[in-house]
Amino acid sequence: MPRTLTERLRGIGSELWKFVVVGGFCFVLDTALSTGLFNSGVGPTTSKTVSTIVATGVSYLGNRLWSFAHRVDDERGHGQDITVYGVINVIGLVITLIPVDVTHYLLSETSTLAFTMSSVVGTGIATVFRFWAYRKYVFVHDKDLAERTALV
């Protein structure tokens, strides 16, 4: 039986809320770490790459164990979803680095404020991509799994 629009929106709303909570925590972690590294003399690309890798690890755990837990098939194993998650986050990192590197290297804006603002813009754009990609390719909805989980 097809789900109503309200049922579909309720499902995505719950996922989106949890994704925002996990993402908000990881955003603060990412921003603090990248800014700290940048202020310590580490280059903008390296600072943002290191902080993104750390935040991605934390994000994976939060999203897998909470945001999209009802979509996880433990019998499938973690290998496939970790690999796809990694690929999506490499794409997300590239999206994030574009404004950072354009601001720093092309526009010659090298202040901490310019770095942080360009980082926030890049992260915002990448976040929209990640939410869509996680739902479509990593935490794929399995109707049978959802029914089994609902019965437990």
Query: What are the residue boundaries of the structural domains of the chain, listed by start?
Result: 5-151
For the segment 43-67, what is each residue's pLDDT rounded down to a tens digit?
999 999 999 999 999 988 888 888 7
Give the list of residues 6+ apart from residue 125 with CB closer than 8 angstroms, or none: 95, 96, 99
For the segment 113-136, what is each residue's pLDDT rounded down to a tens digit?
999 999 999 999 998 998 888 878
- pTM reported for the whole predicted model: 0.75
What share of the chain in percent tops pLDDT 70? 77
Residues composing the chain: 152
Average pLDDT of the chain, as a whole number:
83
